[in-house]
Amino acid sequence: MKKAEAHFRKRAHKYNRSSNWVSDEKLIARIFELSGAGKDSIVLDIATGTGLIAKEFYGRVGKVTGLDICRDMVEHAKGCMDEIVFSPVEQMPFADDTFDVCVCRQGLQFAELGPAISEIHRVLKPGGTAVLCHLTAYGEEDRELTFRIQELRNPARKNYLMPDDIPAALRRQGFRDVQDIRYVTDESVGKWIDNGAIEEERMQKIREIYRSSGRRFREIHNVRFEGDDIIDAMLLVIVKARK
């Protein structure tokens, strides 16, 4: 947890511009729509960061609470939610059956997955909805390079995810109606590499991985070399499930 907090402390000031998916309005609207939230819903945005997901719900539902461990990130989330709570997702200070909706975009890769999913299940009301959205590898052929890039990008990461990992963890926890949606996002490596937390040596290693990658990785990720930049079609999996 300390490693993740230190990483995001360095990124906080640039976070909202640190990749294309971060500010992708279509993606954010899709997460809102999948949550099924209505005007009376009590919503929890886990790993809220600068509040970009919470903001989509704020004012349109009964109450939005953001949860995070990094004060520097949340500093940028003012006006995006009704309430902020500082706590790790693995041990949340909420009573059982509190929320109608729990959302989390790009947070669970930094958490202990089993305890986090168990906590999400506990704090959701019976019939409540979880919407969890994360970058994953596409499959066996790209997993090694994708995970190596992800490790260089953020050494605080605890989980390297395949498309079925979160759906499977939700089913094991007893969630029902588990549904996953694939969302491909064109990401500029030049943009996300400059996030404030990656030093020059790691930047070079990441660029080198793309330059020396094989044909299949380039096909799967639709890798394009455009001037000084590299474009990678990354895969986000959005998982919806009911308690």
Ligand X SMILES: C[S@@+](CC[C@H](N)C(=O)[O-])C[C@H]1O[C@@H](n2cnc3c(N)ncnc32)[C@H](O)[C@@H]1O
Residue selected from 57, 99, 110, 192 as contacting ligand X according to rule CB under 6 A: 110
Least gap, CB of 149 to ligand X (angstroms): 15
Rounded Cα distance between 121 and 130, Å, is: 8
Query: Scanning residues 70 to 89, which ones bind ligand X (CB under 6 A)?
Result: 70, 73, 88-89
Least gap, CB of 109 to ligand X (angstroms): 8
- Closer by beta carbon to ligand X, 68 or else 220: 68
The pairing of strands 229-242 and 124-136 is antiparallel
- Binding to ligand X by CB under 6 A, coded x per residue (else -) over 151-190, reads ----------------------------------------
By CB under 6 A, residue 66 contacts ligand X: no
By CB under 6 A, residue 52 contacts ligand X: yes
* Spatial contact of 147 and 137, defined as CB atoms under 8 Å apart: yes
* Interface stretch with ligand X, choices 61-69, 162-170, 192-200, 207-215 (CB under 6 A): 61-69
| Per-residue exposure over 62-96, b if at least 16 CB sit within 10 Å of its own CB, e if not | ebbbbbbbbebbbeebeebbbebeeebbeebebee
By CB under 6 A, residue 49 contacts ligand X: yes
Using CB atoms, what's the residue nearest to ligand X?
49
By CB under 6 A, residue 128 contacts ligand X: no
- Closer by beta carbon to ligand X, 105 or else 240: 105
Residue selected from 34, 37, 53, 117 as contacting ligand X according to rule CB under 6 A: 53
DSSP string, 62-97: SEEEEEES-HHHHGGGTTS-SEEEE--TTS--S-TT
Which tokens in the block code for residue 84? 């902020």
Contacts of 111 by beta carbon, 8 Å cutoff, 6+ apart: 47, 88, 89, 90, 158, 159
Residue selected from 55, 105, 153, 221 as contacting ligand X according to rule CB under 6 A: 105
* Spatial contact of 175 and 10, defined as CB atoms under 8 Å apart: no
- Closer by beta carbon to ligand X, 75 or else 219: 75
Residue selected from 34, 44, 47, 81 as contacting ligand X according to rule CB under 6 A: 47
Least gap, CB of 39 to ligand X (angstroms): 23
The pairing of strands 124-136 and 176-188 is unpaired
By CB under 6 A, residue 22 contacts ligand X: yes
SS3 content of the chain, % helix, strand, coil (to 5): 40, 25, 30
* Spatial contact of 30 and 183, defined as CB atoms under 8 Å apart: yes
* Spatial contact of 57 and 82, defined as CB atoms under 8 Å apart: no
Q: Which residues here bind ligand X, judged by CB under 6 A?
A: 1, 4-5, 8, 22, 47-49, 52-53, 67-70, 73, 88-90, 105-107, 110-111
